[in-house]
Amino acid sequence: MGKIERVFAKVVVQWRWWIMVVTLLTVLTSASGLRFLTFNTDLRVFFSKENPQLHALEELENTYSEQKNIFLALAPKNKDVFTQRILSGIEDLTEAFWEMPHADRVDSITNFQYSRSDGDDFLVTDLVEDAKSFSKDDLEKIKHIALTEPLLVNRLVSPSGHVTGININVLPPGETLEEVPEIAAYARKIADDFRIKYSDIDVYLTGSIMFDNGFGEASQNDMSTLLPLMFFTLLAIIWIVLRSFAGTFATLIIVCISSVTGMGLAGWLGMSLTTASSIAPIIILTIAVADSIHVLVTIFQELQEGRSKHEAIVESLRINLQPVFLTSATTTIGFLTMNFSDAPPFRDLGNIVAMGVTAAFLYSVLFLPALMAILPLNTAQNKGTIQKCNRLADFVIKRRKLVFWSTLIFIILVTAGIMRIELNDDWVKYFSTRYDIRRSTDFVSDNLTGIERIEYSLESGKTDGIHDPAYLATVENFANWYRKQPKVIHVNSFTDIMKRLNKNMHEDDEAYYQVPDHRNLAAQYLLLYEMSLPSGLELTDTINSDRSATRMVVTLQYTNTKEQRELDKKARAWLKDNAPQAMFTYGSGMSIIWAHISKRNIKSMFGASFGALLLISVILIFALRSFKIGLLSIIPNIAPAVMAFGVWGLISGQVGLALSVIVSLTIGVVVDDTVHFLSKYLRARREHNLDASGAVRYSFNTVGTAMWVTTVSLVAGFTVLSFSGFKMNANMGIMTSITIMLALFMDFFFLPALLIKVDG
């Protein structure tokens, strides 16, 4: 194998100009695929076609109507919605939103369909018509009606009347990826115009459409701010370590063309970027540094020992080709396991990074040595780092028993933090408060209504069954049960309409505010009411076509995914014990899908990661030609990720969608240092006939500098992600940095002590 490596290295140096030309053509061809990249802002892209909760949601939406909305909250500074000026402004806004592209329905307190009896007549009209003409008594009457109407309070108006909302249901056709940004921009334009005209009213925009758009804006913001920061960070680290303009310049070229290749190939493959996959360039940039650093550090070490430039390059490739290949292969395997994720964006992230890492390997062992053979080099590398590595080696060898047992105890104690972890998420808090969508959503949650919803399609089991008094009574009991649950702020039930109609038909006598007790009366009431509704405000979002089922929407306030799963579980238990079998159903809606995806994703990813670790271990056994050393490598490869979750359990305790892919994301990165350390260790044992202690010292001397430099580079790169205002990316960056630091700790302390103990 050594002969093959040496021959390969000599060929690279000899054919350096051709290699550079071919590399340039490859990069240009790949880069041309960038023009095909698109950006998908739809939140539903996180759910695979196989997701059972998504199937349930699509079935619910096919039965009733799709619930994609923009919610606009209005907060008068005088804290009173019910004035001529404010109500008139709401009327104007309601009409303006009807003109918004793809608007399907607009609901506000002004166009609420208020039903009442007037002698022998049954009337259904807008609650507010021509507010400018209202007297003080009219305003008080409207306020009383609105603040006593269950369908409005904590949904479109606060209990005190200081905040109100307008809900716009939007049905974009899904023909282009620009629809959501265009709708969001249109809504913002209406809101901005309203702010100018009504400066005494604060306006807040939220809703699923705004969240979809917010995901896209967060990604674009990360790309425009974090990438430059990443470049500066890597440039500083490389220059400090290498003290070489040529080395720094060459490394930056490698990381840039690796990232361009990965993203360009993604474009050729027709991938759409999402919030999760858009960070791929940052990850590729970071990982590509590691390969380059190992090759360059060895080149400069060989130059310091008196070799010529070409001899130093050949020796560096001879020493590093195998470990760099192994680390690249294992890193690629780790990212490819992300294809087992239940969230397609993480699959794309894994595939894009895998392509970028593969490109980085090829460029590092072909283009980088060829370029270095052309550029002028000096030997101004900082020797202090090598001396520090030698002192660390002396300490570990001399105190190997203390190091071994103390690090083992540390591993056990830190890993114990896993016991505090729970599978939980809060998708609203994915955005930091620097984003308007987060501030608006927090205001709406604090002052008006909740954002998280659980939806149910309650079947009667037969056509026209929703008129059955027994069915109505069960639905009413279910709604009342839900209203008593903690953190439930509103329940939108069909029975609220029927109770109001029953009261209307009895001259608005409050004693009749209950579900009708006769089937025919219920059917007649509903028919009369529907005939009185204007176009666009029909009950198709509440009643299915054959009148066999109704939709019930439960709005929650300040809940996380764990609480939502538990609440839905309790609801299913109630239905099983108190409702007919036909009515039993699972909760649905975007909130409940998010509540399940992190749990599903962690289970699938842990299984895939375990399989990847076994595969990597088998590869290392054959590549290192040592069954014993290959098995030993499992410990430093798996421990950092486990310990990282332990640390996360101590500092946070909650693992959500973003952290469910951490093991797969860090497998290859963690294996990197282990492979380099073990390959040098075995080289010392086989080529130099050193004992275990001597081989450990040799590993520290030859690869220690590169290990800590790559670790610093990787940690710096992923720490850049922690500055993201998008929690999914920020947490991923923090957790990955913790894992990589623990990996270096394992390879500098536990692994050497373990090798001496077992292989001594």
pLDDT, position 386:
62
How does pLDDT run across 665-679, given as a tens digit for each residue? 777 677 777 887 888
Whether 344 and 44 have beta carbons less than 8 Å apart is answered as: no
pLDDT, position 701:
85
Distance CA 146, CA 487 (A): 22
Q: What three-state secondary structure class fits 383?
A: coil
Which token pair is 398? 């001399």
Stated length of the chain: 760
Provide the H-helix boundaries in 64-132.
Answer: 84-98
* CA angle in degrees (0–180, nearest 5) for 436-441-446: 130
Whether 713 and 237 have beta carbons less than 8 Å apart is answered as: yes
DSSP single-letter state for residue 13: H
**Long-range contacts at 689-698 (CB < 8 A, ≥ 24 apart):** 691/760, 692/755, 692/756, 692/759, 692/760, 693/397, 693/756, 693/760, 695/755, 696/393, 696/396, 696/397, 696/752, 696/755, 696/756, 697/390, 697/393, 697/394, 697/397
Distances (CA, A) of 678 to 379, 621, 754: 27, 11, 12
CA dihedral 238, 240, 246, 249 (to 10 degrees): 40
Q: Which domains does the chain have, with CATH numbers?
A: 1-36+243-380 (1.20.1640.10), 63-211 (no CATH), 382-420+597-760 (1.20.1640.10), 450-593 (no CATH)
**Long-range contacts at 563-567 (CB < 8 A, ≥ 24 apart):** 563/487, 564/452, 564/454, 564/591, 564/592, 564/595, 565/592, 565/595, 565/596, 565/599, 567/454, 567/485, 567/487, 567/488
Distance CA 95, CA 128 (A): 13
Give the gyration radius of the chain's Cα atoms.
32
The residues of the chain scoring below 50 in pLDDT are none
Residue among 523, 520, 527, 521 at smallest CA distance from 506: 521
Provide the H-helix boundaries in 273-379.
Answer: 280-304, 309-336, 344-362, 368-374
Whether 515 and 40 have beta carbons less than 8 Å apart is answered as: no
Q: How many helices (H) and strands (E) does the chain have?
A: 26, 13
How does pLDDT run across 684-704, given as a tens digit for each residue? 888 888 898 999 998 888 888
Strands 422-423 and 452-459: unpaired
Identify the H or E element spanning 252: helix 245-268
pTM: 0.80
Backbone angles phi, psi at 395, to 5 degrees: -65, -45
